[in-house]
Amino acid sequence: MLLEAPFTEEKIRALRVGDMVEITGVVYTGRDAVHKYLHDGGKPPVNLKDSIIYHCGPVVVKEAGKWVVKAAGPTTSIREEPYQGPLMEQYGIRAVIGKGGMGAKTLQYCQKVGGVYLHAVGGAAQVLAERVVAVKGVHLAEKFGSPEAIWEFQVERFPAVVTMDSHGGSLHAQVLEESAAKFKQLLG
């Protein structure tokens, strides 16, 4: 299903675990340095109200004076677990794209503020780079270096799966529980 900007609470609350979405709109990249910076009280250089944060350290090069995205796969999200929930609440971040899922704290905040976790396909650097149709800007690049900067990506039909929703559902918790039960059975 399509998930188009603006990313309102109503649209996000309508999403359920297992929904396959295609995102169209602006997403902001942010990984370790950005999360730590915001958590320590740094001022966000962009308005994060109803925004989507993408855990990604992209490869972006300038060709003929224009930014071109060469690779844009997700990075492991769990490293941001201590910061993510509080930042979602403080700045009104609606959704997080990443890989590997996040923990109980983020799930709680998703329920509280109306947020979701969107799992992109890990390693799919080329497919995902192609869905970035324009680079609208870059922030904090001098401070953190290119992969850790906030890139403002205009994406079109960017594919992801809802694996944590605003109703307490987590596909990660569910798959872990089911596979652990099966494992127990195999071990007899």
Partner 1 sequence: MDARALQKNLLELIRRTSAELPTDVVRAVEAGARKEKAGSNARYALEVIRDNIVMAKDKSQPLCQDTGTIICYAELPKWCDERTFRSAYEKAVVEATRVGYLRQNSVDSVTGANSGDNLGPGNPSFHFHQATGRALTVRMMLKGGGCENVSSQYSLPDTKLGAGRDLEGVRRVVLDSVLQAQGKGCGPGILGVCIGGDRGMGYVAAKETLFRELDDTNEDPRLAKLEKRIMKEGNSLGIGPMGFGGATTLLGVKFTHRNRVPASFFVSIAYMCWAFRRNGFVLSEGGRITRWLYDS
Task: Give the interface with partner 1 as residue ranges (CB under 8 A).
Answer: 18, 20, 57-59, 61, 70-73, 76, 99-101, 119, 121-127, 130, 159, 161, 163, 171-172, 174-176, 178-180, 182-183, 186-187
**76 touches, from ligand SF4, partner 1, none (C-beta below 5 to 8 Å by class):** partner 1
172 is catalytic: no
Choice between 120 and 149, CB closer to ligand SF4: 120
From CA 54, how far away is CA 76, in angstroms rounded?
Answer: 11
From CA 23, how far away is CA 45, in angstroms rounded?
Answer: 23
Asked if 42 is part of the footprint of ligand SF4 (rule: CB under 6 A), the reply reads no
| Residue showing tokens 């979602």 | 88
Choice between 73 and 115, CB closer to partner 1: 73
**31 touches, from partner 1, ligand SF4, none (C-beta below 5 to 8 Å by class):** none
Please provide residue 75's backbone torsions phi and psi, each rounded to the nearest 5 degrees: -110, 170
Of the candidate residues 18, 122, 145, 168, the single one contacting ligand SF4 (CB under 6 A): 122
Q: 7 CB contacts (<8 Å, ≥6 apart)? A: 25, 50, 51, 52, 94, 95
Q: What's the per-residue H, E or C state across 65-77?
A: CEEEEEECCCCEC
Residues annotated catalytic, as ranges: 35
